Amino acid sequence: MDLGTGPRATPSRYDGKAVKLNTIAHRAFLPLVLWVAVSSALAQLAPNRYALILEDPPAASRVTSRASLQSADVRDYRQLVETRQRVLRSELGARNVTVTGSVSTLLNAVFVAASPDRVEELRGLPGVKALVPLRRYKMNLNRATQLINAPAAWSALGGTQNSGTGIKIGILDTGIDQTHPAFQDSSLPVPAGYPRCSTGDCVFTNNKVIVARSYVKMLAAGTSPSNPAADSRPDDYSARDHEGHGTAVASSAAGVANTGKVSFSGVAPKAYLGSYKIIGSPEVNDFSSEDAIIQALEDAVDDDMDIVSFSIGSAAFTGAVD
């Protein structure tokens, strides 16, 4: 999925996909709307999870370049969208509906956890344009050396010492173990304005992993704010990687060269990493859903990530190189 100016298509699976954020056109939000609204039937639905799509276009509808995302006009419009979202969130609270999150840049939506018998009620709320059931995804990590041809890229750049310099790569996955040898590079200075973290999660950053955020609370939320014990799934809500999948994906993307029992190097070893934990603990919340994915993707844009990778997927309806 390209959020720049290239070809657009509605993706039907997400298996090691990379989202390029170098430029964001005024129509950047359209693939996201299609992703949520058109292809919901192509994957397992996340029980009791819905996106309330609101009437106003998202802030991305006013963006003509990456730089304009931070313009006064776009900031003012985003504040207007979020003010109207707060009105809806207040109404949802009064109706005892769990709000798991909201986005305003790439999509204008409020995410909720609610039982199916409340769908028509939610669809009829003022300002709601559409209600879309959200899908659930599992982890994937496929070999793609023949598609990447990393050694040729290194050669063109003058060696691995230049690969990824100045680039920020967001990893939407199970988190990143920042203590792993793949993420130790004393030559990298921490960029100004970083680290950026969820509350308490800066302990999961270093001079290479410069963002640490977790969205597990969204996955774990129950349908009733007044009785969360009924169907919530308590978990470790921190950015810690309990599974290892995200650490493996991050090392493939930007791990520094390591030698030992296994010798390896990431594709862009000089790149910075952002950790966006959208999958919880094994056997608890070992999946993700579209509300967490979209929230993390929007945060990655706001955190100035240049590329976002998420190696998760649903049923495959096309070949890897289609």
> 101 near 85, Cβ under 8 Å?
no
Residues 81-106 pLDDT 10s:
999 999 999 999 999 999 999 999 99
- Of the candidates 254, 220, 253, the residue with the CA atom closest to the CA atom of residue 236: 220
Q: Is 12 part of any domain?
A: no
- Same domain membership, residue 151 and residue 130: no
For residue 109, report the phi and psi dihedrals to the nearest 5 degrees. -150, 150
Looking at the domain assignment, is residue 10 inside a domain?
Answer: no
> Into how many domains does the chain fold?
2
Distance CA 33, CA 21 (A): 17
Pair 292, 214 in one domain: yes
State the pLDDT at residue 10. Answer: 31
Q: Is residue 207 part of a domain?
A: yes
Instruction: With respect to residue 123, please indicate whether it lies within any of the assigned structural domains.
Output: yes
Indicate whether 62 and 31 sit together in one domain: yes
Question: Containing domain of residue 33, as a range?
Answer: 27-136
Mean pLDDT of 125-135: 95
What CATH code is carried by the domain that includes residue 130? 3.30.70.80
Which of the listed residues 72, 106, 136 is the one where a domain comes to its end?
Answer: 136
CA geometry: angle at 89 spanning 88 and 95, to 5°?
90
Instruction: Report d(CA 47, CA 136) in Å as an integer.
Output: 9
Tokens representing residue 87 in the block:
């009105």
Q: 132 and 153: one domain?
A: no
| Geometric angle at alpha carbon 51, from 102 and 292, rounded to 5° | 55
Domain identity same for 211 and 309: yes
Q: Across all residues in the chain, what is the average pLDDT?
A: 83
Which tens digit of pLDDT belongs to each residue from 217-258? 999 998 988 888 888 999 999 999 999 999 999 998 999 988
Q: Residue 299 belongs to a domain with what CATH number?
A: 3.40.50.200
* Structure-model confidence comparison of residues 51 and 318, the more confident one: 51
Residue 176 belongs to a domain: yes
Helix (H/G/I), strand (E/B), else coil: 78: helix
